[in-house]
């Protein structure tokens, strides 16, 4: 692989397999079961025509189902030129492990369309998405019970709404039709907090990491997130939200942001909201006044910082640049941003890595909540919110009466606040991210054969998935 090019889909898939093999090597896992878990269950490839500006254009897309030990199989749909069969297989495998690590009862799947969405108008993208949806549904690769897509690189709420609407028209008798896809707009059956869920999950993961002083020390740092210097690669949905929350709420300093046309560097901290506005308006970061522009973005990956957050595509840290990375900790917000070889080099240099299959799982955790909300046909908090509020007011009243003083306003507000859907989603996500990292750290510290958090995370995933294979049996 050349220095600045992304790995092929095949290299990515092999990289994921090698990482999983490292975990299998330290486990007492039956070889047959291990092979059954690693294999991709099925892959669909479709090629279909769509009329674009009076001409017929052909499009090719894939949906890989990696595992069905739990149903539905879950995972995003990506619109990009990197997409091929191997890439969706690698990403589907990551979904299996990701769901197991954060205890989301889904199998793993992933889809993609070979397309540059920027080359098409909104209406054209709608036609292409609706046609792709029909292909997936007709061939058994889309349904609330068996296979549920979500947003990924190049797709968002808009595409998910088109998928849900197309499915509804195909299967109006399916009372759960709206649960055929997650990441929908709230007005179309989505859940509050899904858009920012992956970024929020990264914040919760880092908050939990800094609650473990021994691990923080082993990563060559001390204290909390406050004041930590962070570099973000990619200011898409995930990079933007994690950068925003970590800087605005936890007091971290985002000292550099790398984008497709270069990087912005500012040792005093970049205003993420302003940079995102600028990026939206100018389709690049060049010219942004809040920092110094550096054309060679990939060189900025190698700048000294406390935490590096690669939040774009796979394979950006590889054997040719891993040795130059000076971060203490890498939080893999993207899927597969470090290759197997790159990972080995980082480990031997003592760089700690919070792996993708854990750290970016916030998206699928909240997708799980959305799917449940769709199946129950009920907004979270709808039944109990006012009841809890009344109970809180009662406690405030009792405290006032018993003490003869008034409960201070801010405490009163917290006591008398009934949780709405947003609060509940955030609480459920925080809990999932905390518990999973605690399990990863425990597993890592329990066995000296486990040399990093990634292997610990895969050991956890493999034991959970293998248990369900062993309990049910292979049939
Ligand atoms: N595409 C996201 C991921 O890679 C979300 C998947 C989902 O919500 O199903 O985790």
In the predicted model, what is the mean pLDDT of the chain? 96
* pLDDT for the residue numbered 4: 47
Q: Is the CB of 181 under 6 A from ligand 1?
A: no
Tell whether 242 and 367 lie within a shared domain. no
Tell whether 331 and 356 lie within a shared domain. yes
Q: Which atom of ligand 1 is nearest to the CA of 368?
A: 8
Asked if residue 465 belongs to a domain, the reply is: no
Task: Assign 257 to helix, strand or coil.
Answer: strand
pLDDT at residue 470 greater than cutoff 90: no
Q: Say how far apart CA 98 and CA 108 lie, in whole Å.
A: 8
* pLDDT for the residue numbered 3: 41
Tell whether 267 and 333 lie within a shared domain. yes
Strand 107-114 to 55-65 pairing: antiparallel
Task: Please pick, among 110, 184, 244, 253, the residue that the annotation labels catalytic.
Answer: 110
Asked if residue 203 belongs to a domain, the reply is: yes
pLDDT-derived band at 323, boundaries 50, 70, 90: very high
Residue 285 neighbours by CB under 8 Å, 6+ apart: 235, 257, 259, 261, 262, 263, 264, 275, 278, 279, 293
Q: Which atom of ligand 1 is nearest to the CA of 94?
A: 4
CA of 17 to the centre of ligand 1 (A): 19
Domain end call among 310, 338, 360: 360
Residue 60 has phi, psi (to 5 degrees) of -120, 135
Asked if residue 57 belongs to a domain, the reply is: yes
8-state DSSP, 111: E
Altogether, the residues listed in the chain come to a count of 475
Tell whether 180 and 218 lie within a shared domain. no
Tell whether 395 and 316 lie within a shared domain. no
Q: Is the CB of 76 under 6 A from ligand 1?
A: yes
pLDDT-derived band at 469, boundaries 50, 70, 90: confident
Among the residue ranges 4-13, 302-311, 426-435, the one predicted with the least confidence is 4-13
Q: Is the CB of 154 under 6 A from ligand 1?
A: no
Tell whether 333 and 254 lie within a shared domain. yes
Tell whether 279 and 404 lie within a shared domain. no
pLDDT digits (tens, 9 = 90+) for 162-206: 999 999 999 999 999 999 999 999 999 999 999 999 999 999 999
Q: Say how far apart CA 48 and CA 41 lie, in whole Å.
A: 23
**Strand partners for 62:** 45, 112
Q: Is the CB of 335 under 6 A from ligand 1?
A: yes
> Which domain range does residue 265 map to?
197-360
CATH number at residue 153: 3.40.50.10860
Q: Say how far apart CA 136 and CA 141 lie, in whole Å.
A: 5
Tell whether 245 and 388 lie within a shared domain. no
Q: Is the CB of 362 under 6 A from ligand 1?
A: no
Q: Say how far apart CA 313 and CA 336 lie, in whole Å.
A: 7
**Strand partners for 147:** 73, 143
CATH number at residue 331: 3.40.50.720
Indicate if 38 belongs to the active site.
no
Domain end call among 360, 380, 397: 360
Task: Assign 329 to helix, strand or coil.
Answer: strand
Pocket test for ligand 1, best of 72, 99, 146, 151 (most atoms within 8 A of CB): 151
Asked if residue 6 belongs to a domain, the reply is: no
Asked if residue 11 belongs to a domain, the reply is: no
pLDDT digits (tens, 9 = 90+) for 381-390: 999 999 999 9
CB 84 within 8 A of CB 330: no
**Strand partners for 48:** 59
* pLDDT for the residue numbered 468: 86
Asked if residue 25 belongs to a domain, the reply is: no
Tell whether 238 and 286 lie within a shared domain. yes
* Between 8 and 308, residue with greater pLDDT: 308
Tell whether 324 and 396 lie within a shared domain. no
Q: Say how far apart CA 189 and CA 459 lie, in whole Å.
A: 35
Nearest Cα neighbor of 195 from 148, 163, 240 is 240
Domain end call among 344, 360, 376: 360
Tell whether 178 and 70 lie within a shared domain. yes
Pocket test for ligand 1, best of 98, 194, 199, 367 (most atoms within 8 A of CB): 367
Q: Say how far apart CA 205 and CA 52 lie, in whole Å.
A: 43
Asked if residue 338 belongs to a domain, the reply is: yes
Residue 152 neighbours by CB under 8 Å, 6+ apart: 75, 76, 77, 78, 91, 110, 112
**Strand partners for 109:** 65
Q: Is the CB of 152 under 6 A from ligand 1?
A: yes
pLDDT digits (tens, 9 = 90+) for 113-169: 999 999 999 999 999 999 999 999 999 999 999 999 999 999 999 999 999 999 999
Q: Which atom of ligand 1 is nearest to the CA of 74?
A: 9
pLDDT digits (tens, 9 = 90+) for 205-259: 999 999 999 999 999 999 999 999 999 999 999 999 999 999 999 999 999 999 9
Tell whether 373 and 356 lie within a shared domain. no
CA of 226 to the centre of ligand 1 (A): 29
Whole-model pTM: value is 0.96
pLDDT digits (tens, 9 = 90+) for 410-463: 999 999 999 999 999 999 999 999 999 999 999 999 999 999 999 999 999 999
**Strand partners for 56:** 51
pLDDT digits (tens, 9 = 90+) for 63-111: 999 999 999 999 999 999 999 999 999 999 999 999 999 999 999 999 9
pLDDT digits (tens, 9 = 90+) for 270-300: 999 999 999 999 999 999 999 999 999 999 9
Asked if residue 405 belongs to a domain, the reply is: yes
Please give the tally of structural domains in the chain: 3
Task: Assign 318 to helix, strand or coil.
Answer: coil
């Amino acid at each position: 692989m050349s220095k600045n090019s992304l790995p092929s889909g095949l290299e990515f898939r092999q990289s994921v397999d090698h990482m999983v093999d490292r975990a299998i090597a330290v486990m007492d896992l039956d070889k047959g079961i291990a092979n059954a878990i690693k294999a991709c269950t099925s892959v669909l490839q479709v090629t279909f025509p769509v009329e674009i500006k009076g001409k017929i254009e052909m499009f090719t897309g894939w949906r890989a189902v990696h595992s069905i030990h739990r149903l539905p199989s879950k995972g995003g749909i990506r619109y990009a030129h990197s997409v091929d069969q191997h890439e969706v297989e690698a990403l589907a495998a990551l979904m299996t492990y990701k769901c197991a690590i954060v205890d989301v009862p889904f199998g793993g799947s992933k889809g993609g369309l070979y397309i540059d969405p920027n080359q098409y108008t909104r209406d054209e993208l709608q036609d292409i998405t609706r046609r792709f949806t029909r292909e997936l549904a007709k061939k058994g690769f889309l349904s609330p019970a068996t296979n549920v897509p979500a947003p990924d690189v190049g797709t968002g709420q808009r595409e998910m709404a088109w998928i849900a609407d197309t499915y509804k028209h195909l299967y109006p008798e399916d009372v759960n039709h709206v649960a055929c896809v997650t990441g929908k707009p709230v007005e179309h059956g989505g859940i509050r907090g899904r858009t920012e869920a992956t970024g929020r999950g990264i914040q919760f993961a880092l908050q939990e990491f800094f609650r473990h002083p021994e691990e923080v020390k082993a990563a060559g740092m001390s204290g909390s997130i406050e004041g930590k210097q962070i570099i973000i690669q990619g200011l898409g949905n995930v990079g933007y939200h994690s950068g925003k929350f970590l800087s605005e709420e936890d007091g971290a300093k985002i000292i550099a942001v790398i984008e497709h046309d270069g990087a912005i560097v500012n040792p005093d901290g970049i205003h993420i909201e302003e940079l995102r506005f600028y990026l939206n308006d100018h389709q690049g970061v060049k010219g942004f006044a809040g920092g110094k522009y550096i054309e060679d973005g990939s060189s900025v990956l190698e700048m000294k910082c406390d935490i590096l957050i690669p939040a774009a595509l796979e394979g950006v840290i590889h054997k040719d640049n891993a040795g130059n990375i000076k971060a203490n900790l890498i939080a893999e917000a993207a899927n597969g941003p470090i290759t197997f070889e790159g990972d080995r080099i980082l480990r031997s240099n003592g760089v700690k890595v919070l792996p993708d299959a854990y750290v970016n799982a916030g998206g699928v955790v909240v997708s799980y909540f959305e799917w449940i909300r769709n199946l129950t046909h009920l907004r979270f908090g709808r039944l109990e919110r006012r009841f809890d509020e009344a109970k809180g007011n009662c406690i405030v009243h009792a405290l006032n009466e018993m003490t003869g003083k008034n409960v201070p306003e801010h405490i009163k507000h917290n006591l008398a606040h009934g949780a709405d859907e947003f609060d509940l989603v955030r609480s459920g996500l925080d809990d999932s991210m905390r518990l999973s990292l605690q399990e990863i750290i425990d597993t890592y510290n329990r066995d000296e054969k486990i040399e990093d958090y990634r292997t610990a995370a895969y050991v956890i995933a493999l034991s959970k998935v293998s248990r369900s294979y062993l309990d049910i049996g292979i049939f």
